[in-house]
Structure 1
């Protein structure tokens, strides 16, 4: 599942979400879940025209990492310059 973030942090901000409830990335037991999430993410990046300009993928795991929704999801962000380290 891929949706636009309701509170975008970049001009292009999508959430890639598995249908199976998994609270955090630490709770993934089946490696095929990661493969499926990355496949959807790359399809979204291609279809939305984000590949040439680049994009960032973020996974927050736990409260200290600012995970606010405890259902695993990947953030796909693009459309602006991102700094390092993230902050």
Structure 2
């Protein structure tokens, strides 16, 4: 399989790993969109959120709990942070292995993207 995140999980390519256990790995995003931007990636390959099944319920919950744990350790939990799963092309997914973006260290606006301006707000 030619999956970027599977290669990171297998240690075939390097990443700035900030957390790892038997189910997930978390590392800094190579193109950060906030002062702190990391990804929580399951070690099991699941292409999109649409491919999650009942057996993955605990794994996805573990991803979310891991995001919270790391956010506390990184000092952004009290001020707040954003978590995002992107799904497929229109959802902004570029690597087809589910991953949870965690962004913090600054105040976030909403909506995160104004389509008519085609720029972040």
TM-score class, shorter-chain normalisation, is over 0.9
Q: Matches of 1:41 and 1:81 in 2, distance apart? A: 18
Q: Does 1:5 align with 2:25?
A: no
> 1:17 matched to which residue of 2?
41
Task: Point out where structure 2 has 5 or more consecutive residues left out of the alignment.
Answer: 1-24, 114-121
Deviation, structure 1 residue 50: 0.9
Q: 1:40 offset after TM fit, Å?
A: 1.0
TM alignment of 1:67-82, pairs within 5 A:
67-82=93-108
- Deviation (angstroms), 1:34: 1.4
Greater Rg by CA? 2
Give TM-score scaled by structure 2 length: 0.69
Corresponding residue for 2:73? 47
Runs of 4+ in 1 over 4 A off after TM superposition: none
Matched, 1:31 2:49: no
Instruction: Indicate the RMSD between aligned Cα atoms, in angstroms.
Output: 0.8
Partner secondary structure for residue 17 of structure 1? strand
Aligned counterparts of 1:79 and 1:47: Cα–Cα separation in 2: 13
What do residues 15-35 of structure 1 show as CA deviations (whole Å, max 9, x unaligned)?
000000000111111211111
In structure 1, the gaps of 5 or more residues are none
TM-score by length of 1: 0.95
